[in-house]
Amino acid sequence: MTRRPFIAGNWKMHKGPVQADALAAELKRLLMDFTGVDLAVAPPYVSIPAVVARLKHSGIAVAGQDLHDQVQGAYTSAISGEMLVEAGCSHVIVGHSERRSLFGDTDEVVAAKLRAALRAGLSPILCVGETLAQRDAGRAHDVVTGQLALALAGLSPDQVLGITIAYEPVWAIGTGRTASPAQAQEMHATIRSWLSDRYPREVPATVRIQYGGSVKPGNARGLLSQPDIDGALVGGASLDATSFRDIVAAAG
The Cβ-side half-sphere exposure at 37, using a 13 Å CA radius, reads 24
Distance CA 213, CA 196 (A): 25
CA dist 121 to 27, 60, 87, Å? 26, 18, 13
Handedness of CA 214, 218, 224, 230 (dihedral sign): positive
Is 168 a residue of the active site?
yes
Task: State which residue has the least CB distance to ligand 13P.
Answer: 235
Determine how many CB atoms are found less than 10 A away from the CB of residue 65. 22
Residues that bind ligand 13P (CB under 6 A): 10, 96, 168, 173-174, 212-215, 233-237
Beta partners for residue 80, in sequence order: 68
Question: Measured from the CB atom, is 7 or 237 closer to ligand 13P?
Answer: 237
Across the chain, which distance is largest between two alpha carbons, in Å? Answer: 47
Residue 8 or 31 having the CB closest to ligand 13P: 8
Long-range contacts for 106-113 (Cβ within 8 Å, ≥24 apart)?
A: 107/146, 107/147, 107/150, 107/151, 108/150, 109/69, 110/147, 110/150, 110/151, 111/150, 111/151, 111/153, 112/69, 113/66, 113/67, 113/68, 113/69
Q: At closest approach, how far in Å is the CB of 57 from ligand 13P?
A: 26
Residue 215 C-beta: closest distance to ligand 13P, Å: 5
Which helix (H) or strand (E) segment holds residue 172: the answer is none
Write the single-letter amino acid at 200. Answer: P
In whole angstroms, the minimum distance from the beta carbon of 13 to ligand 13P comes to 12
Smaller CB separation from ligand 13P, 48 or 199: 48
Identified catalytic residue from 96, 98, 130, 188: 96
CB 236 to ligand 13P: min, Å: 3
Nearer to ligand 13P, 148 or 170 (CB): 170
Shortest CB 188 distance to ligand 13P, Å: 16
Nearer to ligand 13P, 175 or 196 (CB): 175
Q: Which of 82, 98, 130, 168 is catalytic?
A: 168
The residues that are catalytic are 96, 168
